[in-house]
Amino acid sequence: MNNLPTLRSAAQLRSRVKSWRAFGETVALAAMRPGLHDGHLSLVREAQREADRVLAVLLPEGDEDAAADAARLQRDADLLDQEGADALYIPPPDECLPPDRRTRIAVPGLSEVLCGEEDPAAFDDFLCAMLRLMIIAQPDVTMVGERDWQKLALLRRAAQDLGLSARILPAPTERDQDDVALSAAALAMNDADRAVARRLHRELTRAARAIGAGADVDQTLDAAADALADAGAEVEYLDLRDPDTLAEQTAHDRARPGRVFGAIRIGDARLIDNVPVED
């Protein structure tokens, strides 16, 4: 057992945040899916650097009831307590995504590129859940992992358009010793697939360095895609894009350096990653 206060309703959440505010304390929000690994926990560590109190949230997965996996939730709560989170909110499934909701949130120019190219509505649930949480909790800071940079850009723009004042900050991507970004898919891979997976960050980094040094963008990305395909990966995309607008960049802009984004499939696993371009 742990001593982490667990909140189960929006009313409890508001009350807890209000008690912190009464002492002039700032609040950081770190929302995650159940089944935590060190990549998730890094959000808590970064949040502690940005605010006095850290509110961790375990978002419901699909139609799954939170009580259906009590052992996993208990393990996650123990991990969050060990990391020093100040409270854990486990919202009912219909709190973040009401079943009768009619509102859909899209950010043209950001929603339909990269991971949203095949399904522009892919981020609707994420944006709805996160914005509802931010409206309820009114945090000073909301953390999003750099691995999910597209979600970071989407949430920043949507929050700006809706007048939400919280700063939305990136948490550096946590990586294993072989530089693979931590994710449930990566952790479940066998050794052979893992050997392919580690090529993603390597090729993205190589491409970003070449582009920063003045190499042709299309040729550089094509070479990276070929290297990944030769290694056994199915390449979904490799793009150079503006970090805020996600507009495609055809050349390195020293005044506004881009990021190289990549997504690959290895068997049933899908991996995403991105790295900044630097001079």
Q: Are β-strands 167-171 and 141-145 bridged in parallel, bridged antiparallel, or unpaired?
A: parallel
- pLDDT confidence of residue 66: 46
pLDDT tens-place string over residues 200-237: 999 999 999 999 999 999 999 999 999 999 999 999 99
pLDDT at position 1: 65
Q: How many CB atoms lie within 10 A of CB 74?
A: 13
Give me the pLDDT at residue 64, please. Answer: 54
Which residue out of 37, 40, 201, 252 is catalytically annotated? Answer: 40
Q: How high is the pLDDT of residue 58? A: 97
201 classed as catalytic? no
CB 109 within 8 A of CB 247: yes
Do 6-171 and 184-276 agree at the fold level?
A: no
State how far the Cα of 28 lies from the Cα of 20, in Å rounded to an integer. 11
The pLDDT score that the predictor gives to residue 69 is 79
What is the pTM (predicted TM-score) of this model? 0.95
The domain defined by 6-171 folds into Rossmann fold (3.40.50)
Measured in Å, how far apart are the chain's first and last C-alpha atoms? 50
CATH class of 184-276: alpha beta
Asked whether 91 and 128 are in contact (CB, 8 A), the reply is no
Give the tens place of pLDDT for each residue, 106-160: 999 999 999 999 998 899 999 999 999 999 999 999 999 999 999 999 999 999 9
pLDDT surpasses 90 at 67: no
Extents of the domains making up the chain: 6-171, 184-276
Name which residue leads in pLDDT, 62 or 196: 196
Give 271's strand partners: 264
